[in-house]
Amino acid sequence: MNVYDAMKVTLLDCTLNAEQKIGRAASICYDAKTDGTSNLKRAIHCKDKGHLATLRFAYATVNISGISRVCSHQLVRIAHAGILQESQRYVEQSQIVWIDPPSLQTVSQETRQIVSRLQNLSEATYHRLLDDGMKKEDARYYLLQQCNTQLNLCLNFQAWQDMLKNRTKKAAQWEIRAVAIAIQNELNTIAPNLFEKIEP
């Protein structure tokens, strides 16, 4: 399965009226008016002019599911993020979904069959080890990094801007880019003046 079929980003929690709250918080910097129109203009101005510290006054938490462990390793390196990931130590991997890169379709059928056998062997080995009494925390060593996982990721808006800036570009790795675009589009629903919608 490729990530476009499996991956899902769900907004779990966020600062309500985030653009207003950012604009109101930033008013102290300018001794400015705090009516709704002024707050919105100020929030947009701060983003456009690079006064991104003001964006720390709003946050969003998303759930990201149906991604590979390879992709999750890129996400867990994000500085200043609150991260909780499904644990292979405690959660038995009974419903493994293998996330295949689209480039798998460019190799020969024979090579794809080898990949399929490797996936089946990895999963069978994992379950055999559990059946033989090995703990999940040790059996997970024999799972491929393309097995699916999920995590919750919480950042303030400045950190989201920083995280999304490079990962939504076409040069980004395909899976992290798909995740980043989905996150950006989810954030667009709560703060459309701060996060533009991006076409995949």
CATH code (residue 125): 3.30.1360.170
* Cα distances (Å, whole numbers) of residue 56 to 26, 127, 186, 193: 10, 45, 18, 16
Domain span at 141: 3-188
pLDDT for the residue numbered 2: 55
User: What average pLDDT does the segment 165-190 reach?
Assistant: 96
For residue 47, is it within any domain?
yes
Measure the CA–CA gap between 175 and 42, rounded to whole angstroms.
Answer: 34
What domain count does the chain have?
A: 1
φ and ψ of 48, to 5 deg: -65, -35
pLDDT tier at 4, thresholds 50, 70, 90: low
User: What average pLDDT does the segment 11-15 reach?
Assistant: 97
Predicted structure pTM score: 0.92
pLDDT digits (tens, 9 = 90+) for 88-101: 999 999 989 999 99
For residue 194, is it within any domain?
no
Question: Residue 7 in contact with residue 67, Cβ under 8 Å?
Answer: yes
pLDDT for the residue numbered 69: 96
For residue 193, is it within any domain?
no
Q: What type of residue sits at position 41?
A: K
The residue with tokens 């991260």 is 83
